[in-house]
Amino acid sequence: MSKNACMQTIVQIRKLSRFLDKYSKHLDKQYHVTLPQMLCLYEITSRSSMNLTELTKSVNLNNSALTGIVDRLESKGFVKRVKKDADRRTIYLEATEEGISYTAQLMRQMEDDCFFDKDKLSPADLQNILNTLDIIINSLDPDIKKIELE
């Protein structure tokens, strides 16, 4: 491994993070939904029902951030909070018909409006990127992974 491999990796990941920040602003301007909102809406519509803890794990955001995101999605009419089961303290999130329809429309638009130029990448290249990202995530120092990012 080269002497600066750690720093080079951090710089490249930082660049990717900046692109994702810019893409989130683009989504908000173009489609009136931010990237975190889109991720949450996609996850909620992919399941019939899920609680906040499940969503937190699924999209890798903290509870306080998710509460605000869910509030905004609810005010847009895309999701609803539902109490069910014997334990009325647990709130489940469900997509509304409008949310399901909006998510389907958004996913179709994302085919042409992705944050990277898919025409420059073959399906094999895309799979290699996903595999490499998995390798990076799985190679993180276990002690670092335990750090709470709240």
What domains does the chain contain, in order, with CATH numbers?
16-114 (1.10.10.10)
Looking up tokens 């002690």 gives 143
Strand ranges in the chain using DSSP code E only, listed in sequence order = 50-51, 79-83, 91-95
Q: Tens place of pLDDT for every residue, the chain, 150 residues? A: 566 888 888 898 899 999 999 999 999 999 999 999 999 999 999 998 899 989 999 998 888 899 999 999 999 999 999 987 777 778 899 999 999 999 999 998 888 777 777 788 888 998 998 899 888 888 876 666 555 554
Side-chain half-sphere exposure of 23, counting CA atoms within 13 A: 17
From the number of C-beta atoms within 10 Å of its C-beta (0-12, 13-18, 19+), residue 11 rates as: exposed
Looking up tokens 């989130």 gives 24
pLDDT at 97: 96
The SS3 of residue 142 is helix
> What pTM value is reported for the model?
0.81
